[in-house]
Amino acid sequence: MGKQRIGFIGTGIMGKPMAMNLLKAGFALTVHTRTKLRAQALLDAGARWADNPAQLTAVSDVVITCVTDTPDVKQVLLGGNAVIEKARPGLICIDMSTISPTETRRMGEILAQKQVIMIDAPISGGEIGAIEAKLSIMAGGPKEYVEQVRPIFEAMGRNITYCGPLGCGQLTKLANQVMVVHTIMSIAEGLAFAEKAGLDLDVTLAATACGAAGSHSLKILGPKIAKGDMKPAFMVDLQLKDLRLVMEHADQIKQPLPGVALVRELLKTLQARGRGKDGTQALIDVIRELGRAKGKS
């Protein structure tokens, strides 16, 4: 059987390099995004353009969405000129956004009425992971169909994990985000402490990154903090969107997450100051400010 024809919707920070890696792997690719200019590099590399999700679906065996939030996915899959309008029995829809697990299941039920299979496959690894095709992919849905699209996943990621039925990929990603924000908090506090104690941050990073404190986040974000680089590997706005989803589901299952609640409020401080487009490493500035306030008391 030849390679599946792929339609890719959403060519942002993550989607663009993911789609590029599919082209490099030899997949026939059709793309759609709200702003065509953002897809120009993909079109130059051989992708075809579709004016809307329905047009894209008509020429695809697999449709991948990688957009911002739950309403965006619903619009693309079920709204006007949406995937559902041209969906054929056997079409596979893979949502690689980070959205509500509950709404994912509802969308899957609606698509199933047209014999369309939905897979949720959110990702972790940041822009560098997307560029280098080293993403961690957390897949939920019918296992036989997840296996069917594994070559597609392997073109974009290194660690592909089957997490269970539809929605379990999203739940696993939310658990991932709980752990990620605590890691970012620990980096911000640790480096703020080192800085105020008079240590050289580069030396501190060299000493700690290979020990028990070492992590992917420290490796990527630590040097950015040391250089004063607040450009996003992952934006504060998007992290807050993910934490909203975490807390919504935590409320549903009655699981307190006091640490997440704290980090969320600190990130909201950055957002309120117009820094939502900064990288999450900007959390250190909030911690630094607390230190300055303490020093004046």
Active site residues: 173
Burial 197-233, CB ≥16 within 10 A → b, else e: eeeebeebbeebeeeebebebbebbbebbbeeebebb
C-alpha of 181 from chain center: 14
Report d(CA 94, CA 106) in Å as an integer.
14
Q: What's the CA angle centered on 172, arms 268 and 100, to 5 degrees?
A: 60
Any residues with CB less than 8 A from the CB of 93 and at least 6 apart, and which?
Answer: 62, 63, 64, 65, 77, 83, 87, 111, 116, 117, 118, 119
Look up residue 218 and give its amino acid. L
CA 213 to chain centre: 24
